[in-house]
């Protein structure tokens, strides 16, 4: 009986939705996390009687035919491109991106990766690195005797020294933009990798050609809307229950069938 498998596909879909939601809720405090949504689509239809054909019995055109659906499947888990709230931390090396764009970092393998997590620190060599120790691709090294660092809205990094009034520019931070941000592959640790779907990274000066500005002393909070997630969670749970009811009803029908003699 098909309805058993159909309801099972519905339960699997809702379960996957719960997994996506629980990952969002688990990351409600992750810096610069963007929530994901599971999307579904219906499965193939069995054509018992194709619409538009001529019926054999009376010779009329079948208006709607008989097409029986076979269930549901998850299609994509897409990233929502909403920005999280900017939170002031006053830390000198905290930067948040106000608008589109990603910081490019270099992985130990030498490959680039992208992140919006701007909680930067200094490596032992004075290099600007992310909290996991990956260096920014812009390769900015802060002199050991620098007293204060200022990062401007357009990414200019200036170091100030003890007995000099004017600062010294030591580099600038660029932001990467993608044609299709949703096509980025999440690698965990707040990192993303470019894919064929995302298109190549286009590194730009902050504040130009659609990329955002850099805000020093701020951190981007997780964009998860907990209230929305909880209401989605309830919806998914009810959807799961509805499909399980179909299974028990189909089961009862089958047990009735077994009594036919």
Q: Is 234 in the site for other proteins (CB under 8 A)?
A: no
Angle of helix 226-258 relative to helix 2-26, nearest 10 degrees? 160
Which stretch, 1-9, 18-26, 156-164, 165-173, contacts other proteins (CB under 8 A)? Answer: 1-9
Question: Which of 38, 17, 36, 39 lies closest to 28 in space, CA to CA?
Answer: 36
Confirm if 211 and 177 have CB atoms less than 8 A apart.
yes
The CA distance from 85 to 202, in Å, is 25
- Chain position carrying tokens 């933009």: 177
**SS3 assignment, position 235:** helix
Between residue 10 and residue 39, which ones bind other proteins under the rule CB under 8 A?
10, 13-14, 17, 37, 39
Q: Is 185 in the site for other proteins (CB under 8 A)?
A: no
Between residue 44 and residue 83, which ones bind other proteins under the rule CB under 8 A?
44-45, 48-52, 57, 62-72, 75-76, 78, 80-82
Between residue 76 and residue 115, which ones bind other proteins under the rule CB under 8 A?
76, 78, 80-82, 100
- For the bound state, the minimum distance from the C-beta of residue 67 to other proteins, rounded and expressed in Å, comes to 5
Site string for other proteins, 119-158 (x = CB under 8 A): ----------------------------------------
Q: Please provide residue 219's backbone torsions phi and psi, each rounded to the nearest 5 degrees.
A: -130, 140
Q: Is 189 in the site for other proteins (CB under 8 A)?
A: no
Count of helices and strands (H, E) across the chain: 2, 19
Between residue 199 and residue 218, which ones bind other proteins under the rule CB under 8 A?
199-200, 202, 209-210
Number of shown-chain residues binding other proteins (CB under 8 A): 72
- Residue 122: other Cβ atoms inside 10 A: 16
Which stretch, 6-14, 122-130, 150-158, 161-169, contacts other proteins (CB under 8 A)? Answer: 6-14
Please identify, using beta-carbon distances, which residue of 121 and 250 lies nearer to other proteins: 250
Alpha-carbon distance values, 195 to 84, 86, 179, 211 (Å): 24, 28, 11, 19
Q: Is 42 in the site for other proteins (CB under 8 A)?
A: yes
């Amino acid at each position: 009986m098909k309805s058993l498998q159909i309801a099972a596909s519905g339960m699997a879909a809702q379960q996957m939705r719960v997994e996506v939601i629980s990952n969002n809720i688990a990351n409600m405090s992750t810096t610069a996390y963007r929530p994901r949504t599971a999307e579904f689509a219906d499965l193939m239809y069995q054509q018992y009687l194709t619409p538009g054909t001529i019926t054999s019995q009376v010779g009329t055109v079948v208006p709607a035919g008989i097409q029986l659906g076979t269930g549901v499947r998850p299609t994509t888990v897409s990233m929502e491109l909403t920005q999280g709230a900017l939170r002031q931390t006053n830390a000198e090396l905290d930067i948040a991106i106000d608008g589109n764009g990603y910081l490019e970092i270099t992985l130990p393998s030498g490959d680039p990766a992208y992140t919006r997590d701007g909680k930067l620190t200094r490596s032992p060599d004075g290099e600007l690195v992310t909290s996991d120790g990956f260096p920014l691709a812009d390769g900015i090294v802060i002199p050991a005797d620098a007293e204060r660092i200022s990062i401007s809205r357009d990414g200019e990094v200036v170091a100030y020294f003890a007995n000099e009034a004017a600062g010294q520019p030591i580099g600038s931070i660029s932001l990467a933009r993608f044609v299709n941000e949703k096509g980025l592959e999440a690698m965990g640790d707040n990192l993303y990798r470019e894919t064929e779907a995302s298109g190549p990274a286009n590194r730009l000066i902050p504040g130009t050609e659609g990329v955002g500005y850099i805000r020093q002393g701020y951190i981007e909070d997780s964009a998860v809307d907990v209230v929305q997630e909880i209401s989605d969670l309830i919806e998914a749970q009810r959807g799961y229950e509805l499909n399980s009811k179909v299974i028990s009803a189909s089961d009862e029908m089958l047990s009735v069938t077994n009594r036919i003699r």
